[in-house]
Amino acid sequence: MNTSTAAAFPAGCTAFRGPLLHFIGEPGLTQPNPDSYEYHADGLLVVADGRVLANGAATDLLPRLPAGTEVGQWPDSLIIPGLIDTHVHMPQLAVMASYGTQLLEWLETYTFPTEARFADAGWSADQSQLFLDLLLAHGTTSALVFSTSHKVAAEALFSAADGYNMAITTGKVMMDCHAPDGVRDETEASYSESRELIERWHGKGRQRYAVTPRFAATSTVQQLTYAGQLVAEYPDVLMQTHWAENHAEIAWIKELFPERSSYLDVYDHFGLLGERSVLAHGIHIDDVDRARLAETGTRIAFCPTSNTFLGSGLFDLASARAAEVQVGLATDVGGGTSLSMLATMAEAYKVCQLRGQSLNPFQAFYMATLGNAQVLHQAADTGNLQPGKYADFLILDRTASPALRLKHKADRDLQGMLFDLMILGDDRAIRRTYIAGQCRYDRESTKGAALNACISG
CB 154 within 8 A of CB 171: yes
Binds 90: which of Zn ion, ligand GUN, none (CB < 5-8 Å by kind): none
Q: Which is nearer to Zn ion, 14 or 219 (CB)?
A: 219
- Closest to 24 in 3D by CA, of 6, 8, 38: 38
d(C-alpha 130, C-alpha 451), whole Å: 8
**How many Å separate Cα 288 from the centre of its chain?**
27
Residues 434-453 that bind ligand GUN (CB under 6 A): none
Q: Which is nearer to ligand GUN, 308 or 374 (CB)?
A: 308
77-81 and 393-397 as β-strands: parallel, antiparallel, unpaired? Answer: antiparallel
Residue nearest to ligand GUN (CB): 335
d(C-alpha 249, C-alpha 217), whole Å: 8
Q: Which is nearer to ligand GUN, 335 or 425 (CB)?
A: 335
Contacts of 249 (CB under 8 A, 6+ apart): 103, 104, 215, 217
CB 335 within 8 A of CB 366: no
d(C-alpha 155, C-alpha 258), whole Å: 36
d(C-alpha 272, C-alpha 242), whole Å: 12
Binds 245: which of Zn ion, ligand GUN, none (CB < 5-8 Å by kind): ligand GUN
Binding mask 46-65 for ligand GUN (x = CB under 6 A): --------------------
The yes or no reply on residue 306 touching ligand GUN (CB under 6 A) is yes
> Shortest distance, CB of residue 268 to ligand GUN, whole angstroms?
18
CB 365 within 8 A of CB 348: no
Contact pick of 185, 332, 420, 427 for ligand GUN (by CB under 6 A): 332
CB 415 within 8 A of CB 361: yes
Q: Which is nearer to ligand GUN, 185 or 332 (CB)?
A: 332
Which range in 103-111, 283-291, 377-385, 392-400 contacts ligand GUN by CB under 6 A? Answer: 103-111
> Shortest distance, CB of residue 278 to Zn ion, whole angstroms?
11
37-48 and 14-23 as β-strands: parallel, antiparallel, unpaired? Answer: antiparallel
Interface with Zn ion (CB under 5 A): 280, 332
Q: Which is nearer to ligand GUN, 118 or 215 (CB)?
A: 215
Cβ atoms within 10 Å, residue 79: 25
Taking each helix axis as running N to C, give the angle between helix 151-163 and helix 121-137, from 0 to 180 degrees, rounded to the nearest 10. 40
> Shortest distance, CB of residue 263 to ligand GUN, whole angstroms?
12
Residues 62-101 that bind ligand GUN (CB under 6 A): 89
> Shortest distance, CB of residue 332 to ligand GUN, whole angstroms?
5
> Shortest distance, CB of residue 147 to ligand GUN, whole angstroms?
11
Alpha-carbon distance values, 156 to 165, 203, 422 (Å): 14, 16, 32
> Shortest distance, CB of residue 274 to ligand GUN, whole angstroms?
20
The yes or no reply on residue 284 touching ligand GUN (CB under 6 A) is no
Contact pick of 17, 64, 214, 276 for ligand GUN (by CB under 6 A): 214
> Shortest distance, CB of residue 33 to Zn ion, whole angstroms?
31
The answer to whether the bond into 457 is cis (omega within 30° of 0) is no
Q: Which is nearer to Zn ion, 280 or 394 (CB)?
A: 280
- Closest to 96 in 3D by CA, of 57, 70, 131, 54: 131
Q: Which is nearer to Zn ion, 332 or 392 (CB)?
A: 332
d(C-alpha 157, C-alpha 168), whole Å: 8
> Shortest distance, CB of residue 240 to Zn ion, whole angstroms?
9
Q: Which is nearer to ligand GUN, 55 or 124 (CB)?
A: 124
Q: Which residues bind ligand GUN (CB under 6 A)?
A: 89, 103, 107, 111, 214-215, 242, 245, 306, 332, 335
